[in-house]
Amino acid sequence: MTKFNWRSFGTGLVVPLVLIALWHTSAALGWVNPHVLPSPLAVVQRWVAYLLPQIPFAEATGSWLAWAVSGELIVDSIGSMVRVVSGFLIGAALALPLGLIMGASPRIYALLNPLAQVLRPIPPIAYIPLAILWFGLGNPPAIFLIAIGAFFPVLINTIAGVRQVDGIYIRAARNLGANQRTMFLRVMLPAAVPYILSGVRIGIGTAFIVVIVSEMIAVNNGLGFRILEAREYFWSDKIIAGMISIGMLGLAIDMGVNKLNNYLLRWHRGLEH
Amino acid sequence: MSAGHIVVKGVNKIFKTTDNEVVALKDINLDIPQGQFVCLLGPSGCGKSTLLNAAAGFSMPTSGSISADGKLVTGPGPDRGMVFQEYALFPWMTVEENIRFGLEIKGMGKTEMEAIIASLMQKLGLSEFRSRFPKDLSGGMRQRVAIARVLALDSPILLMDEPFGALDALTRRNLQDELLRIWAELGKTVIFVTHSIEEAIYLADRIVVMTYRPGTVKRDILVNLPRLRDPASAEFNTLKRELGQLVMEEQQRHHDFEILAAAVD
């Protein structure tokens, strides 16, 4: 773990601060219509209101903790996260074994790869009409779309990971007497892990994009739903507050996945942890 | 245990490419008794690694046969442990797990396994590095782990493909001495591929000098110098000159061949 670098953190703050100052100035001088672009202060106020519980705390009705997380933002974030995680897990759980088999067996690869290559370029968004036809409204179509978004990056990278395993490891393991099963589980699979994890990272990123879109069409909570709802009411400050929340959640997810990567790949050359 | 007798009989190896054939090995015959330390010496491209890979069972001869203790070699196996120039350690396993891997494949009991691992790590000076990953080790240390991993199999035959080729001179000498010590203690048959004349004389009971394309046995000599050998001694250097002459003839053929190939292009 490297020490937190205040200097580079400060450098990174410069451009955002300048942009916010410009934004604030133009809002304060009335250059733009506040309905089109609200002032940063209004956005912050709206964000805080979005975060805090909507009703005052009442001792009788329940625990303090439940009250503290009853704000709309927290409920929305949890809703979006649950969809991302469940959709991603379903997509990855299907892609991983399939990718391992396709990577290891040229015959199965030849059988399935053409289909995968045709389906892969179809953006998950294009499945929206079918998803609604098949699953109606609510969480199921959203999770279906997210699973599709996560499926292909994990699949493609797993196949590549297994196919690129350095021959020297295979020769060494054969020399040590490894049978097919040991070869697969203890040599090919771990050797493919760096590829698989980069697929996971892309897959989670795609899942996060798809969750926002799917919430705009099929469900009535979540961060994507909320910014679309705010548009209906012309609450542009809330739209921006919602977008900032999306950005922060996305960043948190990516940092979490990155931490996991660094742990799982602590044996890997060229990674500092 | 009297095992480790290798017989190479009439081995030919032809590599076919799209427009021509390369005869990598031609009529190789060797009888290597148990416990002998043999160096295969020659310039690159002389087929010494091809012969070693055939003995390891990674690639079969086009014709002829190789047998170990009367058993025909048909594929790789833990009775012929191999040490690679690129170490070939599994980077996702720690030092200890790398050594343990072959023992687990054998299905060895836990107590016996632990005892073997502990004694090997002791023998090769790896105890401090037990839970390190290969990426955190120097080249010399990695090759020690690779040697320990192969010794754990307790195979009667050790096949070594330029194992010290990538190491600096001091580390190299250090590992050569260590290898000789282990070899003297365990009495294994060793086939060691190198292009270093000095390394061959320093290590081997017997040096097989190979020719460049086709790979044949040019000279098969026994080294009758007491160990540890002194590279500065007169006998050592007489042998070195003699071998140097032989290897340089092949190196020159290699060179001429390349010029010819370039001219054809």
Q: Averaged over B225-242, what is the pLDDT? A: 95
For residue A3, pLDDT over 80 is answered with no
What is the average pLDDT value for chain B, to the nearest integer? Answer: 93
- The reply to whether omega before B228 is within 30° of 0 (cis) is yes
Among B119, B89, B111, smallest CA distance to B102 is for B89
pLDDT of residue A2: 60
| Model confidence band, residue A273 (pLDDT cutoffs 50, 70, 90) | very low
Distance CA B82, CA B75 (A): 13
A42-65 pLDDT, tens per residue?
A: 999 999 999 988 877 776 667 878
Residues in A touching B106 (Cβ below 8 Å)? 177
Across the interface, do A268 and B135 touch by the CB < 8 Å criterion? yes
Q: CATH classification of A69-264 is 1.10.3720.10, yes or no?
A: yes
CA A264 to chain B, closest CA, distance in angstroms equals 9
CATH of domain B6-79+155-264: 3.40.50.300
CA distances for B254 relative to A221, B11, B107, angstroms: 74, 22, 47
Q: Which residue has the tokens 């010494």?
A: B48
CB nearest to A187's CB, from B75, B76, B90: B90
Mutation site for B-interface testing, chosen from A175, A180, A197 by largest number of B Cβ within 10 Å: A175
- C-alpha A158/C-alpha A163 separation (Å) is 9
Q: What is d(CA B144, CA B45) in angstroms, rounded to the nearest whole number?
A: 27
pLDDT surpasses 50 at A109: yes
Q: Give per-residue pLDDT as tens, A132-170.
A: 999 999 999 999 999 999 999 999 999 999 999 999 999
Answer for the pair B58, B41: CB distance below 8 angstroms, yes or no: no
Question: Domain residue spans in chain B?
Answer: 6-79+155-264
Q: Does the beta-carbon distance from B77 to A177 stay under 8 Å?
A: yes
CA atoms of B200 and B246, how far apart (whole Å): 13
- Confidence at residue A54, expressed as pLDDT on a 0 to 100 scale: 80
What is the pTM (predicted TM-score) of this model? 0.83
pLDDT bucket at B1, cuts 50 / 70 / 90: very low
| Contact across the interface for B78 and A175, Cβ inside 8 Å | yes
H helix or E strand, kind and range, residue B7 = strand B6-16
Q: A181: pLDDT confidence band, cut at 50, 70 and 90?
A: very high
Task: Give A101 to chain B, closest Cα distance, Å.
Answer: 21
Best of B58, B92, B161, B191 to substitute, by most chain A Cβ atoms within 10 angstroms, is B92
**Residue B60 pLDDT > 50, yes or no?**
yes
Mean pLDDT on B68-72:
94
Domain boundaries in chain A? Answer: 69-264
